[in-house]
Structures are given as structure tokens and as C-alpha cells.
Structure 1
Amino acid sequence: MYNNHRPDLTELPSSGQLLRSTIIALIAAGVLLVTVVMPAEYAIDPTGAGRLLGLTQMGELKHTLAEEAAAEARPPAVAAPAGSAEATPAEETPAVAQAEPASAAAPVPAKPEQPKVATQQHEVNLTLKPNQATEIKLEMKEGAKANFHWTANGGRLNYDTHGDPYKAPKGFYHGYGKGKNTPEQKGELVAAFDGKHGWFWRNRTNETVKLTLRTDGEYITIEQVF
């Protein structure tokens, strides 16, 4: 009992070693708290390591179960029995305005109609050499209508009928129809929005083509874009 070896003072850890060990332990505990405890217990995963280890899902499940248990523990709301409230004397009852039937509600004011554009009529004649293109647009209000008839006068053209709103965003496209090697086309163009609507033609043949466009309808202007 008296032969136990008493440690020498040189064998005991110094104050610096104890401080270093304490700091290392605190850092390790902090890392475990952030990467293991917080994700597993509270579903808080600031580093993302908890989700990789499957601990965050465990914390989320615990949180969901706790909310469900709390909801089940709440006492159900008891509705007051009808007629349990004391009747109020007629002279003390505040006047309540009766709601009008839904059918008597004030009608929503209709959108004011835009002034109607005067009907115009034009004929445009152009010559397109092989591989040459052109575009003609009508400036129209939404809902305006214009009749059109274009013909390649014996030739054939590729066409693309489309419209562009005012200040159209980059890449915008609204088409009404397109075709290839078409000798002519007629119909009615109805503007889908305020802006410019019309036709793009290109001559993909080896012969010069004479193009004729006739229009009449509710458009403001007609212009050859190029």
C-alpha cells in the first residue's frame, strides 16, 4: 500500500497543455453540436452535414411528430348551444343594416370601349428578286379587323403572318400563320393586342416575283418595314 509510485511533477501536464486540451474539447463539442445534435434534435443544419448523414430528416420527423401530438392534445372547441344567449330587448338592439341580395349588388362598370378606327383600304405592289424579303405591317388596336388578299401573281413566296405589341420584349413572337411556296392567301386578320400586325415574305425561287397586297379594315396605318 505504501509502495505506490508517486508521479513526478515533470510528468503532470502543464497549464498550457491543459488549456490546449480544453480548447480542443470545446471545438470538438461545438462541431458535434452543429453537425449532429442540432440536425438530429431540432432539424437545424447550418453546415449541410446533417442532411448528408440523414440526421436532419430525423430532426424534421421529430418536429412533425411533436406538432401532431400538440394538435391532438388541444381540447376541441365547444360551440355555444343555440338560444343560450340572453335575448336583448328590442329597444337596446343596435340597428343592423340588412345585406342586399347578391343579385342587387352594384354592377361592375364595363371597360370603356376604345374609339373605333375608321376603315381604310390600300393596295401595295412590290417586286422581290430571288432570295429577297420584305415586310408590311398594319398598326391596329386590340380586336380590330382587317381583310387582306395577297398574291404572288403566278409566282410563289414563303410567308409568316405575325404581330408585335408596342414595346415588345426581346424575343417576343405571336404568329397568325406561316407557309412555304404559297401562290396567294386571303382572309381576315384580327389583332390580338395593340400593336403592329402583318406579313413577312421571302422569295426562295430563282425567278423575280411581283407581290400585290390588298387590305381594307380597321387599321391606323400601313407601312413597309423593309
Structure 2
Amino acid sequence: MYNTDMPAREELPSSAKLIRSTIVAAFVALVLLVTVVMPAEYAIDPTGAGRLLGLTQMGEIKQQLAEEAAADEAAQLTVVPSATEELSPEPAASAQQAIVAQEIQAEPTGESDAMTAPPAAPAPSLWKDEVRVVLTPGEGTEYKLTMEEGALANFHWVSEGGPINYDTHGDGSGRSISYEKGRGVAEDEGELKAAFTGNHGWFFRNRNSSDITLVLRTSGDYGELKRAK
């Protein structure tokens, strides 16, 4: 198919023209590189023409954006390993091992703990005085508290080996009083309130055919516990 006429030999450019055109093109490309491309892309303006054309400012903005993007990428690369370490099972295993170690240390070790543990302190006595006396068959005894009028004393007594007869009474300042009496009683406790200033307490007698042991305990607001007979 016919498109166009082939050029004549004399119409073709000579080698000198081609070389000259190549040199011109290279020079133009170099000028464009220095005055346009370098200022616009890399903010490099050796001739100053790029700043006059506003291309250097464009290059500076591009370089700033590139630096910020590189900084963000570096920060992400720094954060990712930390997140990976948090997801790693090894720390969890270490935490579990620490918990197990604490439980083992806190767990009692039986005999060694019992040997090293300090002995428990004895509970303080609730009673101020305590007496024990053995009464033979038919024998009696009397214990009194020296008390001011209105003073209160707590007591507890028990007859070991059999019941006993008792009389709770008081005397002093020319006065006497009987609070309570009992026959064949093995144990009693309560509160004794002094009706007046004087001696207040108990008379006990063993009416059994064998010995008994009387244990009397007292506490409260009184001077002393003394045996009258």
C-alpha cells in the first residue's frame, strides 16, 4: 500500500547535523535538569532559576513530606516488634512460673514450719484470784472479798468429787446480810454486789462421805480474797 514517498538521499540529514542536534538536545536536557527538575524534585537550585520560578519551594515541600513519611515508617517498625513481643506466649509463661513459685513459697512445708513457727501466746486469765482447797467429810471453809459499798465482783466455783452446801453472805460495820444459800450444789457462777462496805463471800461445807476439791475463781472490784476459817 502506498503511504508516502521515500526521501531522496540529499534530503537526509548529514552526520554533522545529527551530532549537532544530539549535542543541542543534551544541552537543553541539562539546562532543564538544573533549572527545573532538580529544584522542583530535590530542592537543589544551583542557578537560582528554580527559586525565581517557584520550583525550589515545591521541591522543599516534597523533601519535607518524604522525610516525614520516612520518620513515620521508622516509628511503625519500632512499634511492631513491641506489639509482637506482647503477643508472644513467653511472657505469659514467665508470669505463670512466677505465680507458681510464689504459691510454692507460701505453701506450708509441714514439719519444718511447725518447728520454726513461734509458739502461740497463752490467753490472758479472766480471773484475778483462784484458790483450790480439799475439804474432808463434814469440813467447812469460808472465803471473803474486801469490798466497798456498790462494788461488783464476778465469781465461779465448782466442787470436784461431789456437791457441796454453801451460804453467800456479807458482814462489816456492824451489819450482816445473806445473799443466797444452797444445798447439794456442784457448781455456781455469777456476780456479787456489795450491799455495804465490808467482807462479802461464801461459806462452804462438805456433807459427802468422801473428800471433795473446791475451786473458787474471782475477779472484779475488790481489795483482796482471803480465807476466813
TM over 0.5: no
Larger Rg: 1 or 2? 2
RCO greater where, 1 or 2, for CA within 8 Å and sep 6 or more?
1
Please classify the TM superposition score into its range, dividing by the shorter chain length. 0.3 to 0.5
**Relative to total residues, which structure has the larger helix share, 1 or 2?**
2
With the length of structure 1 as denominator, give the TM-score of the two structures.
0.44
